[in-house]
Homo-oligomer: A and B are copies of this chain.
Amino acid sequence: MPVEILQQHKVHGGTLSYVRHQSEATGTPMRFSVFIPGGVTGTVPYLIWLSGLTCTEDNFTTKAGAYAYAAKAGVAIVAPDTSPRGEGVADDPAYDLGQGAGFYVDAIQAPWSPHFKMESYVVADLIAAAEEAFALDGGRRGIFGHSMGGHGALTLALRHPQLFRSVSAFAPISSPTRCPWGQKALGAYLGPDEAAWAEHDAALLIAAGKARGREILVDQGGGDSFLVEQLKPELLQAAAAEGGAALTLRMQEAYDHSYFFITSFVGDHIAWHAARL
């Protein structure tokens, strides 16, 4: 299905497009942005960026300052919205459930199950639509994200290792089965059976050896107000030791959970991915 181009901007010598397309997985229109570096011929390696709670495709696109680095590295970036949206789509008044909080899983519980299929959306529809419409190299695809989207990047990379050559995260929810955000969302979307939750828990997947030998880069702000209760990078570190993953966890003193943290290290992440794509 074709994408509809909503806006285009020249930035750092490349082209940024905001697009909309119909997703089979969610049954709704979905939006994403895509940056294609300038001066390249043929397809380019690319990164999928998954955003955090409350975000749309716009937050990373306008606030991360990523395209200077992507242009230099010759890497494209695709940044989707964080959930299906619209009047016919279920929602919740809380910021951490429903629209803006898809958690990158396929919901099986009402009222979420008809549309909240964000895992299938990313790994099937988003990739297909982006690669059909833009000159992206599907053989050199990485994934990264922030907070809920850091959880998404890690779990999608671990659950679909053939799809993603490289993975990194900013302040990810390390173990959604062991924090309030994750317990609430996985309970709502997947139901009360906690065994099903474990399949979407990065720390548990890594501890079980699903990332054995795999490099993972994680930056975490030491001044992040969600660090202790929600993010728990120490669980990732313990899991990497147990499951043999090559985790590089960088604690960044005094940085918080905002895009000011992301913009400070996004250049490092893009260069790290580019060296592996």
- Is the CB–CB distance between A68 and B10 below 8 Å? no
In A1-50, the 8 Å CB interface with B consists of: 9-13, 16
- Is the CB–CB distance between B254 and A10 below 8 Å? yes
How many A residues have CB within 8 A of the partner chain?
23
- Is residue A63 contacting chain B, with contact meaning CB distance below 8 A? yes
- Is residue A162 contacting chain B, with contact meaning CB distance below 8 A? no
Q: Which residue of B lies closest to A259 (CB)?
A: B62
Residues of B within 8 A of A248 (CB): none
- Is residue A95 contacting chain B, with contact meaning CB distance below 8 A? no
- Is the CB–CB distance between B62 and A12 below 8 Å? no
| Chain copies in complex | 2
Q: Which residue of B lies closest to A67 (CB)?
A: B263
Residues of B within 8 A of A254 (CB): 10
- Is residue A209 contacting chain B, with contact meaning CB distance below 8 A? no
Compute how far the CA of A58 lies from the CA of B40 in the bound complex, rounded to whole angstroms: 34
Q: Which residue of B lies closest to A257 (CB)?
A: B9
A residues sitting closer than 8 Å to B (CB atoms) are 9-13, 16, 62-63, 65, 67-68, 221, 223, 254-256, 258-261, 263-264, 267
| 8 additional contacts (CB under 8 A) given A11-B260, A65-B65 | A9-B260, A10-B221, A10-B223, A10-B261, A62-B62, A62-B63, A62-B259, A65-B68
